[in-house]
Amino acid sequence: MVNLKNFTHIFRSYDIRGIYGKDLDEEIMEIIGNSITKLVKENIVVAMDMRESSEKLKKAFVSGVTKSGKDTLDLGLIPMGAALFYTCKNNKTLAYITASHLPKEWNGVKFFHPNGEGFIEEENSRIRDEFLKGRIIKGKKQGESFYINSKEIIEDYKKYLLSKIQVKKKLRIVLDCGNGMASLIAKDLFEKAGFSTVPLFDELDGSFPNRNPEPEADMLTRLREEAKSSDLGIAYDGDADRMVLVDDKGRKLTAEQVSFLVLSELLKKESGGIVANVECSRVLDDIAKKFNRNIIRFRVGHPYLVHEALENKASFGAESSGHYIIPSLVPFDDSLAVSLYAASVLSKKDEKLSKIVDRIKTYPFDRINFKCPDEKKFSIIEKLKEKFLKEYENINTIDGIRIDFDKGWVLIRASNTSPLIRLTVEANDKEEFEKLKEEFSKILEEEIK
């Protein structure tokens, strides 16, 4: 038996992740599957993405659950949104085997409540505590695993989304699936909605041969070129829970620009406010004022996005990383649903997307990644928090350290999914931006050293 204390780092704020074969294997995953049965009373729905290790890890997880005496419902390969559509509809807990946007050698598992909210840090910590006991608890009888046909679920999910969307004119849309889970649904969904599509990398391949599963701008060369002769480009991450939009000039839109497009139509009917994480630009505050809505800020992480949106009866929620929620559409964050809605909004406009987003005032803004070992990043944040609380007045520590100044703000926070500390800087003008960026980059570099 391995020393389980060596694996505590895989339990993160809103999921469990590690490098397959190093941090995570079948033995570890079986214990995780058994451990969650101490927290979840009902049977568990299990699904997965197309990573090369997902099938093996899913089987190990199922083994851990069924040894406890509980049953599993196995959806197999299915996009995250379709899996959540099924579990919300049937009031079930979901375990989804994935490492989302991380490179191919990573894998893990995300847990979701029956209402679509992801497990938060405290809940994943309780699973970790059970895991560390190192015992496989066996039930009075062995549980069973029942296979559910995911094709039927996907068809129901598509029919539901199409019933909620109205398209005014036929647009040409480029769909970069990145060989991820969006490949199973995106082309058919958008064409049935009434769009013309140009699919890119839409064959499932867990080795991600064409681009990194994270849809960063520098990885989207093909999409950005194709979008220049189209109306809209969309890229998805590995498990299809995040997306980015690209305009007809080949520019990747910010989360704030995506939000403006969606809200321009959504708020004609919706009365709720807007939720946004602490990383989102003050551009979103300007947009909220334009629509006479308030903004509620929350911690970075998709579980907090969904929780705050549902808790506050919000009309819309956004994360700077590309997670969005429209609760009246689906009560969870779902890139396929929101991207389809965004395309339908654009179909009702008389202007090109580039002209729409060019009207949005922006500020100098950047997010810089600093490599930092997982075992050190949170202690560094705590040291800086102690230091800054003595030096600055306007500080928010809901997630990392955000310091607001008269002409800008900075946020320093540890990534919950990668060995990184991120510095986010925004200011009213370029001079102030460069000053803040240089000052806090030096502070962070010295602290990491």
Give the separation between CA 357 and CA 253, rounded to whole angstroms.
8
Alpha helices in 68-172 (DSSP H): 80-90, 121-132, 150-164
User: 252, exposed or middle or buried, with CB in 10 Å at 0-12, 13-18, 19+?
Assistant: buried
The pLDDT of residue 435 is: 96
Q: What is the helix, strand, coil percentage profile of the chain, to 5?
A: 40, 20, 40
Give the separation between CA 340 and CA 96, rounded to whole angstroms.
23
Neighbours of 357 (CB within 10 A): 21
Element spanning 395, H or E: strand 395-396
pLDDT digit string (tens) for 185-242? 999 999 999 999 999 999 999 999 999 999 987 789 999 999 999 999 999 999 999 9
Q: Indicate the class that CATH gives domain 4-149.
A: alpha beta
Give the separation between CA 209 and CA 198, rounded to whole angstroms.
19
**Strand positions, DSSP E, 71-203:** 72-77, 93-97, 106-112, 145-147, 172-176, 196-200
What pTM does this model have? 0.90
**CATH of region 165-358, choose from 3.40.50.970, 2.10.109.10, 3.40.190.10, 3.40.120.10:** 3.40.120.10
- Which has the closest alpha carbon to 226: 203, 204, 201, 205? 201
**Four-residue CA torsion sign, 18, 112, 397, 288:** positive
Domain with CATH 3.30.310.50 in the chain: 365-448
The length of the chain in residues reads: 449
Fold category of 365-448 in CATH: TATA-Binding Protein (3.30.310)
Contact between 72 and 46 (Cβ < 8 Å)? yes
The pLDDT of residue 278 is: 86
- Which has the closest alpha carbon to 123: 104, 106, 110? 110
Give the separation between CA 37 and CA 393, rounded to whole angstroms.
45
The pLDDT of residue 324 is: 96
**152's torsion region: left (phi>0), alpha (psi -120 to 50) or beta?**
alpha
Which CA distances in Å does 139 have to 38, 69, 136, 142, 259?
A: 11, 4, 10, 6, 48
The pLDDT of residue 1 is: 64
The pLDDT of residue 285 is: 86
Which residues are 97's β-sheet partners?
A: 48, 109
Residue 153 CB contacts under 8 Å (≥ 6 apart), including other chains: 75, 78, 82, 83, 85, 86
Which CA distances in Å does 366 have to 281, 302, 410?
A: 10, 21, 10
The pLDDT of residue 56 is: 98
Catalytic residue among 13, 35, 100, 183: 100
Which residues are 420's β-sheet partners?
A: 371
100 in active site: yes
Contact between 249 and 228 (Cβ < 8 Å)? yes
Domain with CATH 3.40.120.10 in the chain: 4-149, 165-358
| Residues of the chain with confidence (pLDDT) below 50 | none
**End-to-end Cα separation, the chain, in angstroms:** 36
